[in-house]
Amino acid sequence: MTSTWTPLRARLPVAERALEPRFGRALAERWVQEHRAGRSVAGTRAHTAYYRGAGELSLRVDVTFAPAEGPGDQLTLLVRCDSSGGTTATAFPDDPELPTLEGLLRPDAPPALASLGLAGAAGAGEVAVVHHPRTGACVLRIGVAEQRHVFAKVYPSRAEATAAAAVLDALGHREEPGRGGPVRLPRLLGLDPARHLTVLESVAPVPAVDNPRPVSLLEAGQALATLHRRPPVGPLPVVGPLDGADEVARESALTATAWPELAAALAAPLARARRALAAHDPGRPVLSHGDFTPGQLVRRRDGLGLIDLDTLRLAEPAADLGRYLAYAELAALRRGSRHPRPGGATAELLVGYGRPGSGHPDLRARTLAYRELTLVHVALHAARRFKDRRVSHALSLLAQPHTTEGVAS
């Protein structure tokens, strides 16, 4: 973006109002007066804003009490507000989108693993929130023994938890050898439909790897090839080449309700990616990660671990490759680094993947089409999260020719 770019929040009145510091302070003081009689607010911080469409916004307001007496003297309000001035607030973990989360995190709650009959459940240790996203499942880390833990995901509904468990069951339960060392895939340990909960083993190393080096594009390609060669042991959703383009088009329509000029600017690359994906046979679908990014690979002493597999599907290989390439470029742009050779990022990823033996002559072209589609989606979704810099990075990468990706491995 140029220096004349108007911040995203300034173009949406409901966001400008909700993110103004006085709004959060006044909201927190009203809530505390109603729910924490006798306490006073020392400070507030609004963050994690998210445009949900139709003039509705969600955000979080961190509240610090005065005087501070211990860990209980802070809380986070989950806030919804709309363009008509309506506002609601609940205190985390009372999340209306995750109705079972509060029960799992209450101090007097039964152990989260007790209902699953897992070894060590009776002595399960502290439950810690690892990731509480704006939408979707919340990730918990649960201690089961010294230096050992498992991960749990709390979904919005019973149906979503059950579907995620079915997808993970289709993966099977064996470690995969890879050219760069073993690729460890987490096993599904249990499902508690009533609490919308799945539990997975951790693939993080124990003890932890000290100062792990970044995963290279070559290693990422090798790990992905290992997953793609694996036959599923159960049914999985099938995602075609234009399904992703349709999803991005829906995201564009929603984003256009607040930032029409951004959606218009991204219409050409979206159409270009759709044409490229429709132009050639995608080939045989493989076991696809569905959300393959640098953040999904964990460095282990004996190789790599691959996480967040509840998005597994059957899709063409280029879908995972293009997504990873786009996110690797964005990460490199944030670091200010570039690949030493023009086009070298795509080449390195495909060498690791094993392009000469891929059996698909259009793999590079289709990978680049998915890269472009992913960057369009990133720009649109980043706007809804008011991440001006991320929108700027995605737009700048879309403006570059495919032969000059700015990526360092």
Q: Using one digit for the tens of pLDDT, what is the confidence trace for 38-68?
A: 889 999 999 999 999 999 999 999 999 987 6
Q: What is the pLDDT of residue 144?
A: 80
**Alpha helix locations (H) across 10-116?**
13-18, 21-35, 101-105
Other Cβ atoms less than 10 A from the Cβ of 151: the count is: 21
- Residues 312/167, Cβ–Cβ less than 8 Å: yes
- The DSSP code for 71 is G
pLDDT digits (tens, 9 = 90+) for 202-239: 988 777 778 788 999 999 999 999 999 999 999 999 99
- Residues 1/391, Cβ–Cβ less than 8 Å: yes
Q: What is the pLDDT of residue 176?
A: 67
Q: What is the pLDDT of residue 341?
A: 66
Q: What is the pLDDT of residue 408?
A: 46
CA distance 152 to 111: 12
CA 169, 171, 175, 180 torsion-angle sign: negative
Give the three-class secondary structure for 53.
Answer: strand
Q: Is 401 exposed, middle or buried (0-12, 13-18, 19+ CB in 10 A)?
A: exposed
- Residues 254/384, Cβ–Cβ less than 8 Å: yes
Mean per-residue pLDDT, 331-339: 86
Q: Cite the beta strand spans of 171-222 per DSSP E.
A: 183-184, 188-192, 197-201
Exposure of 148 in the CB half-sphere (CA atoms within 13 A): 10
In 3D, which of 255, 254, 258 has the Cα closest to residue 14? 258
The sheet with strand 74-82 has its strands ordered as: 40-53, 56-66, 74-82, 87-91
CA distance 62 to 44: 5
CATH superfamily for 217-404 is: Aminoglycoside phosphotransferase (APH), C-terminal lobe (3.90.1200.10)
Q: What is the pLDDT of residue 147?
A: 67
Query: Of 3.90.550, 2.60.40, 3.40.50, 3.30.200, which CATH number belongs to 101-201?
Result: 3.30.200
Range of lowest pLDDT (155-164, 339-348, 350-359):
350-359
Burial 344-375 (b: 16+ CB within 10 A, else e): bbbbbbbebbbbeebebebbbebbbbbbbbbb
In 3D, which of 80, 119, 125, 78 has the Cα closest to residue 102? 78
pLDDT digits (tens, 9 = 90+) for 69-89: 665 689 999 999 999 999 999
CA distance 380 to 271: 15
Mean per-residue pLDDT, 393-402: 87
Range of lowest pLDDT (133-137, 140-144, 162-166, 235-239):
140-144
pLDDT digits (tens, 9 = 90+) for 263-314: 999 999 999 999 999 998 888 899 999 999 999 999 988 889 999 999 999 9
Give the three-class secondary structure for 42.
Answer: strand
Among 122-126, 177-181, 217-221, the range with the most confident prediction by mean pLDDT is: 217-221
CA distance 69 to 66: 8
Q: What is the pLDDT of residue 136?
A: 96
